């Protein structure tokens, strides 16, 4: 299962929304580019005036000097305006990209955990890295360049028409060739370059496999097979490169022709018009110069088309993440008490393959229940259901009579929390790291939570106390300190029931004793379900549930189960007697 990809309509709507949000900045950028382009267009028109003046004998040298000065001023103005326009475009690009990234992060943070797990983190990671990178490239460099090139191209055509519409019509001579050639190329270039990239990956894989496995290849006489594999990869790479080269070998000459054709047509057509008296030599010169000036912006626009295609694909993958459906809809019911019950819970990851076959557990408020059993028996799955992360396939897990999956997520976490290996320190202040668990918590609340987990002393000793910046780039915390922060978050979250998956829990077996003490203080007064992978945890629990093949086989206190002489008694005897 992969995360969704946004439709073209959604991508367009998002782009429109981004443009609307940055309307002000966009207008400034467009205005600057327009002014710069206008300044740049003065040249040909002025040269035309000089030519007509000189050939007509109406212009003397003083006049030429003045026009030359105006020309110089226009060039200086163009340079200055272009600089500011480019700068503002870059700022705009960064702004757009920042909003996009912020929205994306907010979406990712809201994603249902079950979806992320089902899709695997690889897909999400590719979208947060490669795709964001690709969009960033397009937005940062593409948007400014496209704006400049677009505005310049349009204004150049406008200027030519202002000089002489009849002559300017000739500028469009190259359009048919350009349109046909570009469409032909774009249709083939995307798949062509993708195939080329894939062939690099295949060849790289084949070669490194050969090198890494050289002993195996020799031992099993696989050399001929391996050689033909590498040969095939090489052939594919050569063919794919030939293909894109062939595309370029047609496309570039075609664009060159479509760029030069207008100049020739303007001159020939212009000569005819001069002969019939409909245009002056100066006007034809000016329009021909405009036709030549048009080449570079149009060329630039075409070269960005490819990039835009890649960027749009990446954008649709980024926006698509927002299309993940909610995995729960709050019903608005409020739990009557803190009593957590699982009744006849079944669960199947894949349809028809049940891993839990009707588990019922009634947790007494404040009790400590250990779940033990062989690996693969369904302990972790049960833990996730009891923490409300996934909905059971059938049966229900409730708190105070309300199904866990019917509670809004924020609310759910204040009832039941799954404790995982939260060693992660977020970049930010210590206060930021803590208030993630309870936004808006006062500083005294934060301090109290830190005191519970014995962390207040070292935090107070930090250069800026709660406001010390930690995480990468800031103060680096020790693993024990990071664990204490995670525990303090749990104190702030204050759920009455904790599901502790020992395999991934905070309880690092090598953890210092004081950390364990802090942990115990956090567990105090709460209902705890501990998925035990070590039997001594089970021994200390009020009750023990032995899970085997998706069933609760035995349920009772340590003494009861040992006395009963079942599976647990056996496990205990072998573990306790046989040395650990
Ligand atoms: P335990 O925690 O007791 O080791 P689990 O709850 O992790 O057991 O696994 C129970 C069964 O469910 C196993 O057969 C395991 O292969 C299967 N299982 C666990 N996670 C997944 C998953 N994400 N997709 C498919 N099957 C899974």
Residue 161 has pLDDT above 90, yes or no: yes
Determine if ligand 1 sits within 6 Å of the CB of residue 374: no
Determine if ligand 1 sits within 6 Å of the CB of residue 505: no
Cα 381 to middle of ligand 1, angstroms: 6
Per-chain mean pLDDT for the chain: 86
Q: Provide the pLDDT confidence category of residue 509 given band limits of 50, 70 and 90.
A: low
Supply the pLDDT for residue 140. 75
374 Cβ contact partners less than 8 Å away, ≥ 6 residues apart: 548
Phi, psi of 423, deg, nearest 5? -85, 0
Residue nearest to atom 24 of ligand 1 (CA): 349
Probe residue for ligand 1, chosen from 119, 345, 347, 349 as the CB with the greatest number of ligand atoms within 8 Å: 349
Determine if ligand 1 sits within 6 Å of the CB of residue 381: yes
Residue 580 has pLDDT above 50, yes or no: no
Element (H, E) at 277: none
Cα 378 to middle of ligand 1, angstroms: 6
Supply the pLDDT for residue 546. 92
343 Cβ contact partners less than 8 Å away, ≥ 6 residues apart: 360, 395, 396, 397, 398
Supply the pLDDT for residue 254. 93
Q: Provide the pLDDT confidence category of residue 343 given band limits of 50, 70 and 90.
A: very high
Residue nearest to atom 25 of ligand 1 (CA): 349
Radius of gyration of the chain (CA): 35
Q: Provide the pLDDT confidence category of residue 397 given band limits of 50, 70 and 90.
A: very high
Region 251-268: what's the mean pLDDT?
A: 92
Supply the pLDDT for residue 85. 86
502 is catalytic: yes
Supply the pLDDT for residue 165. 92
Q: Spot the catalytic one: 209, 502, 560, 570.
A: 502
Residue 32 has pLDDT above 60, yes or no: yes
Determine if ligand 1 sits within 6 Å of the CB of residue 355: yes
Q: What is the pLDDT of residues 510-564, one digit of tens each?
A: 566 777 788 888 888 999 998 887 777 788 889 999 999 989 999 999 999 999 9
Q: Which among 92, 532, 135, 539 is positioned nearest to 316, based on CA atoms?
A: 135
Residue nearest to atom 5 of ligand 1 (CA): 378
Residue 222 has pLDDT above 60, yes or no: yes
pLDDT higher for 116 or 97?
Answer: 97
Q: Which domains does the chain have, with CATH numbers?
A: 8-323 (1.20.1560.10), 340-577 (3.40.50.300)
pLDDT higher for 310 or 490?
Answer: 490
Supply the pLDDT for residue 216. 87
Q: What is the pLDDT of residues 431-482, one digit of tens each?
A: 998 988 888 888 899 999 999 988 898 899 988 888 999 888 888 888 888 8
CA angle 44, 46, 52 (to 5 degrees): 100
Supply the pLDDT for residue 57. 80
Residue 197 has pLDDT above 80, yes or no: no
Determine if ligand 1 sits within 6 Å of the CB of residue 384: no
Cα 361 to middle of ligand 1, angstroms: 19
Exposed/middle/buried for residue 156 (C-beta within 10 Å: 0-12, 13-18, 19+): buried
Q: Provide the pLDDT confidence category of residue 385 given band limits of 50, 70 and 90.
A: very high
Cα 531 to middle of ligand 1, angstroms: 14
Q: What is the pLDDT of residues 166-186, one digit of tens each?
A: 999 999 999 999 999 999 998
Determine if ligand 1 sits within 6 Å of the CB of residue 379: yes
Supply the pLDDT for residue 578. 53
Residue 275 has pLDDT above 50, yes or no: yes
Q: Provide the pLDDT confidence category of residue 90 given band limits of 50, 70 and 90.
A: confident
Determine if ligand 1 sits within 6 Å of the CB of residue 533: no
Residue 503 Cα: closest atom of ligand 1: 2
With pLDDT > 70 as the criterion, what percentage of the chain qualifies?
96
Determine if ligand 1 sits within 6 Å of the CB of residue 120: no
Region 304-317: what's the mean pLDDT?
A: 80
Supply the pLDDT for residue 1. 65
Element (H, E) at 462: none
Residue nearest to atom 19 of ligand 1 (CA): 381
Name the DSSP letter for residue 499.
E
Residue nearest to atom 10 of ligand 1 (CA): 378
Residue 503 has pLDDT above 70, yes or no: no
Determine if ligand 1 sits within 6 Å of the CB of residue 353: no
Residue 350 Cα: closest atom of ligand 1: 25
Determine if ligand 1 sits within 6 Å of the CB of residue 376: yes
């Amino acid at each position: 299962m992969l995360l969704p990809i946004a439709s073209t309509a959604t991508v367009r709507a998002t782009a429109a929304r981004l443009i609307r949000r940055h309307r002000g900045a966009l207008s400034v950028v467009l205005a600057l580019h327009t002014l710069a382009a206008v300044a740049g267009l003065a040249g040909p028109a002025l040269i035309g005036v000089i030519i007509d003046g000189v050939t007509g004998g109406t212009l003397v040298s003083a006049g030429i000097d003045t026009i030359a000065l105006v020309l110089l001023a226009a060039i200086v103005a163009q340079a200055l305006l272009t600089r500011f326009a480019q700068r503002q475009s870059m700022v705009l690009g960064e702004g757009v990209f920042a909003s996009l990234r912020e929205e994306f992060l907010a979406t990712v943070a809201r994603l249902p955990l079950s979806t992320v797990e089902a899709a695997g983190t690889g897909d999400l990671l590719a979208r947060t890295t490669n795709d964001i990178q690709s969009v960033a490239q397009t937005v940062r460099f593409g948007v400014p360049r496209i704006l400049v090139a677009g505005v310049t191209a349009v204004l150049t055509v406008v200027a030519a028409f202002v000089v002489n519409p009849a002559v300017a019509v000739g500028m469009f001579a190259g359009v048919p060739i350009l349109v046909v050639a570009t469409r032909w190329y774009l249709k083939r270039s995307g798949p062509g370059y993708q195939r080329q990239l894939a062939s690099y990956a295949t060849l790289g894989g084949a070669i490194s496999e050969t090198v890494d496995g050289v002993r195996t290849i020799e031992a099993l006489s696989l050399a001929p097979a391996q050689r033909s594999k590498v040969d095939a990869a090489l052939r594919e790479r050569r063919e794919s490169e030939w293909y894109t080269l062939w595309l370029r070998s047609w496309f570039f000459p075609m664009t060159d022709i479509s760029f030069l054709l207008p100049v020739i047509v303007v001159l020939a057509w212009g000569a005819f018009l001069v002969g019939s008296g409909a245009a002056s030599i100066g006007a034809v010169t000016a329009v021909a110069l405009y036709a030549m000036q048009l080449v570079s912006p149009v060329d630039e626009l075409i070269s960005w088309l490819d990039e835009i295609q890649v960027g749009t694909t990446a954008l649709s993958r980024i926006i698509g993440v927002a299309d993940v459906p909610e995995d729960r809809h709050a019903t608005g019911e409020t739990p009557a008490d803190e009593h957590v019950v699982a009744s006849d819970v079944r669960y199947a990851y894949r349809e028809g393959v049940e891993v839990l076959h009707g588990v019922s557990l009634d947790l007494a408020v404040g009790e400590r229940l250990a779940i033990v059993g062989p690996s693969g028996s369904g302990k972790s799955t049960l833990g996730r259901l009891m923490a409300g992360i996934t909905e059971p396939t059938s049966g229900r897990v409730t708190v105070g009579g309300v199904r866990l999956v019917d509670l809004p997520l924020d609310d759910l976490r204040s009832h039941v929390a799954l404790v995982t290996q939260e060693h992660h320190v977020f970049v930010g202040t210590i206060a930021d790291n803590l208030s993630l668990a309870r936004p808006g918590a006062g500083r005294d609340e934060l301090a109290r939570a830190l005191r519970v987990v014995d962390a207040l002393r070292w935090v107070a000793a930090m250069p800026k106390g709660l406001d010390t910046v930690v995480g990468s780039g800031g103060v680096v915390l020790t693993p024990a300190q990071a664990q204490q922060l995670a525990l303090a978050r749990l104190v702030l979250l204050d759920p009455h029931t904790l599901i502790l998956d020992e395999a991934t829990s905070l309880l690092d077996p090598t953890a210092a004793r004081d950390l364990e003490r802090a942990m115990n203080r956090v567990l105090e007064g709460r209902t705890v379900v501990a998925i035990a992978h070590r039997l001594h945890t089970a021994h200390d629990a009020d009750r023990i549930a032995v899970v085997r093949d998706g069933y609760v086989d035995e349920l009772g206190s340590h003494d009861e189960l040992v006395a009963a002489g079942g599976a647990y008694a056996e496990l205990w005897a072998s573990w306790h007697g046989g040395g650990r």
